[in-house]
Amino acid sequence: MTHRVFGTWHDWGTARQQLAVVAPEVSVRRLGEAVAFAEEAHGDQKRPAGEPYVEHLLEVVEVLVSGVGVRDEDLLVAAVLHDVVEDTDRTAKEVGARFGPRVEAWVGWVTKPEPGADEDPAEVRNRYLQSLRGAPPEVLLLKLADRYSNVQRLDTHPRPEKRRSYYRETCRHLMPLATGVPWFEAAFAEWRESYRHLEDGASAPTA
């Protein structure tokens, strides 16, 4: 079984053109401001496989727009900015001042907290993932789109053990969040079948 892969919106110019076709009601000016803010904040940050980080941010928008059918501008802006507080020196207050309280709140929900000096990072991460069970519907869509972008090409991750742990985490924590969201339920079910070889005890795929 194959699964749908997103990633044609490699840059803002392409994304802007596609948005004008598939979602003309969405303000490309406002989204463009968010992309510029994110690009400046993330700088030369790369994804694990080496792609510019902005490609991930635009993939999340593409999943929401082309996959789920989202047209809420605040949610799409939050998709562009979802990692700026966690991964850069930008603050939640900066996000709120520039893009509004809804965007600030949703970005806050998906920002993993930094472990304290005496805290186990794995425990902190686990608590964060469990907290998403009580998240607003918009946050669930945002987090599911974020994770789908991150795992849709999981075999390109350079560390095999990370592939397995990320697969297990996605199945345990993220897939249950998709219950009741038909597009994500189907997308993650297809994705899981494509990556069954990463389950504990599974045989390696043959060429």
Residue from 86, 94, 169, 185 carrying the catalytic annotation? 86
Fold of the domain built from segment(s) 12-198: Hypothetical protein af1432 (1.10.3210)
pLDDT in tens, 70-113: 999 999 999 999 999 999 999 999 999 999 999 999 999 999 99
What is the arithmetic mean of pLDDT over 37-43? 97
86 is catalytic: yes
**% residues pLDDT > 90 (the chain):** 88
Q: Contact, 107 vs 85, CB < 8 A?
A: yes
**% residues pLDDT > 70 (the chain):** 96
pLDDT, residue 1, reads 58
Nearest to 67 by CA among 177, 191, 184: 184
Single-letter amino acid code for the residue at 45: Q
Quick one: how far is CA 52 from the chain centroid? Answer: 15
Around 29, how many Cα atoms within 13 Å sit in the side-chain half-sphere?
0
pLDDT in tens, 76-88: 999 999 999 999 9
Residue from 33, 39, 51, 87 carrying the catalytic annotation? 87
pTM reported for the whole predicted model = 0.94
169 is catalytic: no
pLDDT in tens, 136-166: 999 999 999 999 999 999 999 999 999 999 9
pLDDT of 200 > 90? The answer is: no
